[in-house]
């Protein structure tokens, strides 16, 4: 991609990717790094979400569900738009597709949606910081993200809530 055709990442893209990254680190998902960049495949500007799963695969579906939701949810919160509208927007296309492939039952979707909302509420200042650092640096390592998470006294409390 030549420099002339490359658009600048938007603030809402940064919030979207920060939402995924902070949610992932908070619930115990590990990954390589998160980058902001041009996503050639979809011909739209989006976060290039590069992940490297490690730990104890296969990861539970609820983890995937929450991490997928928190990107569009953070974008919606930043843009002061409804989650439903952002979920259907092009910036959420790959998340919505991946979510559908998880095959989660409707009643569980409601629970995951609530937990994703609670997580973002808890981590909003971390998401804001991460978004502005992503815009400044273009990418952050997993350790950078982990440093920005607001950790409760018991890091694993999230697991027992779900
Ligand atoms: Zn996303």
For residue 3, report the distance from its CA to the centre of ligand 1, in Å.
24
| Domain assignment present for 79 | yes
Q: What CATH code is carried by the domain that includes residue 135? A: 1.20.58.760
Query: What is the domain count for the chain?
Result: 1
- Cβ atoms of 143 and 23 within 8 Å: the answer is no
For residue 17, report the distance from its CA to the centre of ligand 1, in Å.
6
**pLDDT tens digits in sequence order for the chain, 162 residues long:** 444 445 677 899 899 999 999 999 999 888 888 888 665 555 455 555 556 555 545 678 888 899 999 999 999 999 999 999 999 998 888 889 989 999 999 999 999 999 999 999 999 999 999 999 999 988 888 899 999 999 988 777 665 455
Range of 71's domain? 11-51+59-146
For residue 8, report the distance from its CA to the centre of ligand 1, in Å.
17
Q: Given this model, what pLDDT does residue 159 score?
A: 58
For residue 57, report the distance from its CA to the centre of ligand 1, in Å.
21
């Amino acid at each position: 991609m030549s420099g002339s055709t490359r658009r600048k990442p938007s603030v809402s893209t940064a919030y979207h990717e920060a939402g995924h990254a902070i949610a992932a680190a908070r619930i115990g998902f590990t990954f390589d790094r998160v980058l902001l960049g041009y996503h050639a495949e979809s011909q739209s500007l989006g976060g290039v979400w590069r992940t490297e799963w490690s730990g104890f695969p296969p990861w539970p579906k609820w983890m995937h569900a929450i991490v997928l939701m928190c990107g569009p949810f953070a974008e919606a919160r930043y843009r002061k738009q409804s989650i439903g509208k952002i979920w259907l927007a092009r910036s959420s296309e790959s998340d919505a597709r991946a979510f559908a492939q998880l095959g989660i039952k409707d009643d569980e979707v409601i629970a995951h949606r609530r937990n994703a909302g609670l997580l973002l509420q808890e981590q909003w200042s971390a998401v804001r910081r991460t978004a502005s650092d992503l815009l400044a640096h273009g990418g952050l390592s997993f350790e950078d993200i982990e440093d920005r998470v607001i950790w409760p006294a018991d890091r694993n409390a999230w697991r027992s809530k779900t």
